[in-house]
């Protein structure tokens, strides 16, 4: 099984939950999406605007379905949510510090995702491993 965990692209500095991606954020999401080594069947995203925009960009590039998931909100995303949503060729779009913490915990490796980055994870006999870290 292969899946991705993505941090949303660079967003406007103000605006709370309605913060949108900046033009730079759009470019970094497009660049990272083009490097994704699989076509996501489904993209689960936090309901916050910047995450939804990120998911929609990746979906446009790969022809994927987007589903909003409350469990990917900032401060809510956890290992339990990850395990519930994990599936082959799934992409999860969320926020730091939660995405970095969950990836670090399940792979047993310190991983910090910058804006627009994607952690590509593979599941095998020994559990989850970080297969690659995609930077825009």
- Please state, in angstroms and rounded to a whole number, the distance separating the CA atoms of residues 136 and 118: 9
Interior angle at CA 70, CA 44 and CA 75, nearest 5: 105
In this predicted model, what pLDDT tens digit does every residue of 36-71 receive, in sequence order?
999 999 999 999 999 999 999 999 999 999 999 999
Domain boundaries along the sequence of the chain: 2-134
Helices 23-35, 49-62: crossing angle, 10 deg rounding: 40
Does domain 2-134 bear CATH number 3.40.50.1240? yes
Q: What are phi and psi of 32, to 5 degrees?
A: -65, -40
Q: What is the mean pLDDT of residues 69-93?
A: 97
Nearest to 70 by CA among 53, 45, 52, 100: 45
pTM summary value: 0.97
pLDDT at 41: 97
């Amino acid at each position: 099984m292969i899946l991705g965990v993505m941090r949303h692209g660079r967003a406007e500095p103000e605006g709370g939950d309605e913060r949108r991606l900046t033009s730079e954020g759009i470019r970094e999401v497009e660049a990272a999406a083009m490097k994704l080594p699989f076509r996501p069947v489904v993209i689960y995203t936090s309901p916050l605007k910047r995450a939804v925009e990120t998911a929609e960009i990746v979906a446009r590039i790969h022809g994927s379905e987007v589903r909003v998931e409350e469990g990917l909100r900032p401060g809510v995303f956890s290992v339990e949510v990850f395990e519930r949503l994990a599936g082959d060729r799934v992409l999860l779009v969320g926020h730091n510090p939660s995405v970095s913490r969950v990836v670090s915990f399940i792979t047993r490796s310190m991983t910090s995702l910058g804006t627009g980055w994607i952690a590509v994870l593979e599941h095998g006999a020994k559990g989850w491993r970080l297969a690659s870290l995609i930077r825009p």
